[in-house]
Structure 1
Amino acid sequence: MTAKGRIVVAMSGGVDSSATAALLKEQGWDVVGVTLQLYDHGQAVCRPNTCCAGKDIHDARTVADVLGIPHYVMDMESTFHADVVDKFAESYIRGETPIPCVLCNQTVKFRDLFSIARDLGADALATGHYVQRQDGANGAIMLKGADPGRDQSYFLFSTTREQLEFLRFPLGGFLSKDETRAIAARYNLPVAAKRDSQDICFVPDGDYAGLVQRLKPGAIRPGAIVHVEDGRELGRHQGIIHYTIGQRKGLGLGGGDPLYVIRLEAEKAQVVVGPREALGRSRITVRGVNWLGDGDGADFVCQVRVRSTRPPMPARVRLDGQGGGLVMLDMPEQGVAPGQACVFYDGDRVLGGGWIVGAD
């Protein structure tokens, strides 16, 4: 054991996690690399632009060899399929817009990796996420990443207090990806110039609807596209899984004023469309709330982000103490979709968040 203790690094085979391992070794930690295999070997090989694929496992092992650290590959295929892939498909069928990366962090990457790290005698678990952790008066707190363009706090809102105490995010204070690549280059790591993963790892071709059709072939129903104002039928669709809230292109409705998907009604198999102004929502209902702020968080003013690509907006939040809550925005927000997360911020501090179940 070193003076700093043992730390497990979640190594995906990309430059971020590889640089994390190198940086922690440089700081004097006893580093152990762990890679999660999320697909069987035949499916995993040669998947471009994803993480946790066959080439990525090879890259992680090569990096570990260069750094001279032990490296383990853990088969999490069945757990990943049950906790992430199946739930992704079920969410789409309900007319939601899921975020599988949050589910993956919440289950396979944190819940299960925590157990693995403790079994390996680790004092901490580190990832390459761009988010910051600090020790506060009442325990560890989470902050946005220093680089606004790479901040990943939205995807980590469900991290529990216990997990946050155990976690480390060495890259969170970096101001650019160039700093990360410089660390990898300094150690002559073969992934120093590797491209970032772009797609959802289990949908490398971007065809979400095709995946859902393969997993849930009997659950997709055709239906009507109707106008939000009077319910008149404007066209037909082959399944609500082909649409998301705020979508404009690909509706197949011909000319006229621009129309957007306002909501998806799974029980009626209807896609409801209307003008852009009909997208505005001022009240959001959330469930599965994870609270990371001080006190009980019953009633507070903050900023909220309703999608990873949207800026935080001022709001008032009232939590019911049972995992649910109501978010009241100061100004209407567009693109609010069930299945997405509503994350609470106090400036740079992450106060927690919940899953969006409805909005009006």
Structure 2
Amino acid sequence: MESSGKKVIVGLTGRIGSGVTAFLLKKQGFQVIGVSIINHSMDTFKNSSTPPKCYISKLGEIENFCKFLGIPFYATDGKSEFEDKVLDPFTANRLTARANTTCFNCTSLRIQVLYEKMKKLNADFISTGHFCKVHKNLNSDNFSVHANNDVDSDQSFLLAGIPEIYLKHLILPLGELRANEVDTIAKKFNLPLKPSLSDGKFCYREPAEYESILKNRVPKSLIKEGQVHNVDNDMIQGEHKGILHHFITEKNLKFNGVNQADQNIQVVNYQFEKSTIEIGSDKHLTFKGCQLVELSLSSGLDRSKPMNCFIKNKYSHQYVACMIFFKNNASAYLEFESPIYPIIEGEKVVLFDKNTRNAKVIGLGRIGQRGEFELIDRAEEYKTKNEANEEIKRAPVFKF
């Protein structure tokens, strides 16, 4: 790629990944412009030990880093868009105990904001510190996201579903690097960046991380107390003060009557109408297949027949082999090679074409119904039904 004279907008978060991204692009000859997107008020998580990864607590430190690199810096207020596209869906999902998709929604929003800044500042590209790659197909001119070669560093799943209008302008300098190699670059060149606090988990998982946000967004009338039902032994084992304080897969439960020594007991479901939390073992979240809805797929895929692919979700870095059966209305059925835990309704699932280096993202969907499904051959079913009807209509023959 010709870099001389080209302008690139780099999304800066104050963490090592985005800082090293800006540094590498400048070394390559790009005209780098740093942009930080403010999604929360500065004091929202000031006392939190686990703030979300998009939270910027000290804007001055990012500005000083840009001065160190000798690049322009801008900050943009993204709080209203963040409320609309990230926090509103998150609040609705928390009230109904559906899956937490904030990291997907946040990534998509940040890419959009950077793209709009790129146009306003007459730049050519945008860039982030994600550990994955964007490739262009020279035959079709289509752009696609590909996995980092290091499975533990890979973040390609977060960019699944990003429209090509953004991908064609997106540069990802960390796509070929491991996380520890990025740390080494920061130390070698004495970049004024603090070590990343990222633990590899997704944001807003624990109640302590999000209760300060939701307390002003959810009316008390919607925080319903209720019973805790153990679906393994069909017993009521205490009461809860609202699902907002809990999440699916939560363990180390403090409900009365729950055996604290049993690490397998966890929150497995929430009955919204009855305000009942259901707890039980892994088997209630372990499935051999699931329905995918709101499915978006790469162009050029043959959807006329089942296809082998691999999936990832935010709970594991490992690829899982599966077969996808395409259906109508942007839906499909996934059959896993072996049962997977946890499969949570509403969770995002990313599809890949292979489980080796440079795997290509080929789709993104949301989990609908879970369980094993029986495939029905409608043509054969119709034929069998007609033959049965003919047998009934056929007049009996009597011999005298």
- TM-score (norm. length: structure 1): 0.88
SS in 1 for 2:62: helix
Task: Please name the residue that 2:14 is paired with.
Answer: 13
Is the alpha carbon distance of 1:157 and 1:221 closer, same or farther for their aligned partners in structure 2, counting shifts above 3 Å?
A: same
Task: Please name the residue that 2:332 is paired with.
Answer: 325
Contact persistence 1:304–1:312 (CA under 8 A)? yes
Matches within 5 A, 1:270-309: 270-292=276-298, 294-295=300-301, 297=303, 299-309=306-316
Q: 2:59 aligns with which of 41, 57, 60?
A: 57
SS in 1 for 2:186: helix
Write the deviation string for residues 181-202 of structure 1: whole angstroms up to 9, x where unpaired.
33334443210x4333458777
Q: What amino acid is aligned across from residue 84 of structure 1 in structure 2?
A: V
Write the deviation string for residues 300-323 of structure 1: whole angstroms up to 9, x where unpaired.
221112433252212122344533
Q: What amino acid is aligned across from residue 285 of structure 1 in structure 2?
A: Q
Question: What displacement does 1:72 show?
Answer: 0.8
Task: Please name the residue that 1:120 is paired with.
Answer: 121
Q: Residues of 1 paired with 2:279 and 2:206: CA distance?
A: 29
Q: What amino acid is aligned across from residue 63 of structure 2 in structure 1?
A: R
Task: Please name the residue that 2:374 is paired with.
Answer: none
Contact persistence 2:103–2:203 (CA under 8 A)? no
Contact persistence 1:221–1:238 (CA under 8 A)? yes
Question: What displacement does 1:271 show?
Answer: 1.9
Q: Which runs of 5+ in 1 are unaligned?
A: none
Q: What amino acid is aligned across from residue 283 of structure 2 in structure 1?
A: E
Is the alpha carbon distance of 1:350 and 1:317 closer, same or farther for their aligned partners in structure 2, counting shifts above 3 Å?
A: same
Is the alpha carbon distance of 1:320 and 1:25 closer, same or farther for their aligned partners in structure 2, counting shifts above 3 Å?
A: same
Q: Structure 1 residue 260 and structure 2 residue 261: aligned?
A: no
Question: What displacement does 1:121 show?
Answer: 1.5
Larger Rg: 2
Is the alpha carbon distance of 1:115 and 1:212 closer, same or farther for their aligned partners in structure 2, counting shifts above 3 Å?
A: same
Contact persistence 2:145–2:159 (CA under 8 A)? no
Task: Please name the residue that 2:376 is paired with.
Answer: none
SS in 1 for 2:85: helix
Q: Residues of 2 paired with 1:290 and 1:4: CA distance?
A: 36
Q: 2:360 aligns with which of 345, 349, 354?
A: 349
Q: What amino acid is aligned across from residue 92 of structure 1 in structure 2?
A: R
Is the alpha carbon distance of 1:48 and 1:70 closer, same or farther for their aligned partners in structure 2, counting shifts above 3 Å?
A: farther
Task: Please tell me the root mean square deviation across aligned C-alpha atoms, in Å.
Answer: 2.8
Task: Please name the residue that 1:37 is paired with.
Answer: 38
Q: Residues of 2 paired with 1:56 and 1:321: CA distance?
A: 48
Question: What displacement does 1:33 show?
Answer: 1.0
Q: Structure 1 residue 131 and structure 2 residue 132: aligned?
A: yes
Is the alpha carbon distance of 1:234 and 1:46 closer, same or farther for their aligned partners in structure 2, counting shifts above 3 Å?
A: closer
Question: What displacement does 1:173 show?
Answer: 0.5
Q: 1 or 2 for the larger relative contact order (CA 8 Å, sep ≥6)?
A: 1
Question: What displacement does 1:328 show?
Answer: 2.0
SS in 1 for 2:34: strand
Q: Residues of 1 paired with 2:47 and 2:209: CA distance?
A: 18
Question: What displacement does 1:296 show?
Answer: 5.3
Contact persistence 1:245–1:336 (CA under 8 A)? no
Q: What amino acid is aligned across from residue 83 of structure 1 in structure 2?
A: K
Task: Please name the residue that 1:269 is paired with.
Answer: 275
Is the alpha carbon distance of 1:325 and 1:68 closer, same or farther for their aligned partners in structure 2, counting shifts above 3 Å?
A: same
Q: Residues of 1 paired with 2:343 and 2:182: CA distance?
A: 33
Identity percentage over the alignment?
Answer: 22
Matches within 5 A, 1:188-203: 188-191=190-193, 193-198=194-199
Question: What displacement does 1:223 show?
Answer: 1.7
Q: What amino acid is aligned across from residue 360 of structure 2 in structure 1?
A: R
Q: Residues of 2 paired with 1:96 and 1:17: CA distance?
A: 31
Number of residue-to-residue matches in the alignment: 357
Task: Please name the residue that 1:171 is paired with.
Answer: 174
Q: Residues of 1 paired with 2:307 and 2:282: CA distance?
A: 30
Task: Please name the residue that 2:156 is paired with.
Answer: 153
Is the alpha carbon distance of 1:204 and 1:9 closer, same or farther for their aligned partners in structure 2, counting shifts above 3 Å?
A: farther
Write the deviation string for residues 258-300 of structure 1: whole angstroms up to 9, x where unpaired.
5333322222222223333333212322333232363254642
Q: Which runs of 5+ in 2 are unaligned?
A: 372-400
Question: What displacement does 1:38 show?
Answer: 1.6
Q: What amino acid is aligned across from residue 243 of structure 2 in structure 1?
A: I
Question: What displacement does 1:210 show?
Answer: 5.4
SS in 1 for 2:316: coil
Contact persistence 1:11–1:60 (CA under 8 A)? yes
Matches within 5 A, 1:57-76: 57-76=59-78
Is the alpha carbon distance of 1:40 and 1:251 closer, same or farther for their aligned partners in structure 2, counting shifts above 3 Å?
A: closer
Is the alpha carbon distance of 1:309 and 1:300 closer, same or farther for their aligned partners in structure 2, counting shifts above 3 Å?
A: same
Q: Residues of 1 paired with 2:33 and 2:288: CA distance?
A: 47
Write the deviation string for residues 24-77 of structure 1: whole angstroms up to 9, x where unpaired.
111111111111112234547676654454544222211111111111110111
Q: Residues of 2 paired with 1:203 and 1:316: CA distance?
A: 30
Q: Residues of 2 paired with 1:232 and 1:48: CA distance?
A: 36
Q: Residues of 2 paired with 1:223 and 1:47: CA distance?
A: 29
Q: What amino acid is aligned across from residue 82 of structure 2 in structure 1?
A: F
SS in 2 for 1:206: helix
Is the alpha carbon distance of 1:210 and 1:29 closer, same or farther for their aligned partners in structure 2, counting shifts above 3 Å?
A: closer
Q: Residues of 2 paired with 1:356 and 1:27: CA distance?
A: 41
Question: What displacement does 1:174 show?
Answer: 0.5
Contact persistence 2:43–2:57 (CA under 8 A)? no
Q: Structure 1 residue 181 and structure 2 residue 192: aligned?
A: no
Higher alpha-carbon deviation: 311-320 or 163-172:
311-320
- TM-score (norm. length: structure 2): 0.80
Task: Please name the residue that 2:320 is paired with.
Answer: 313
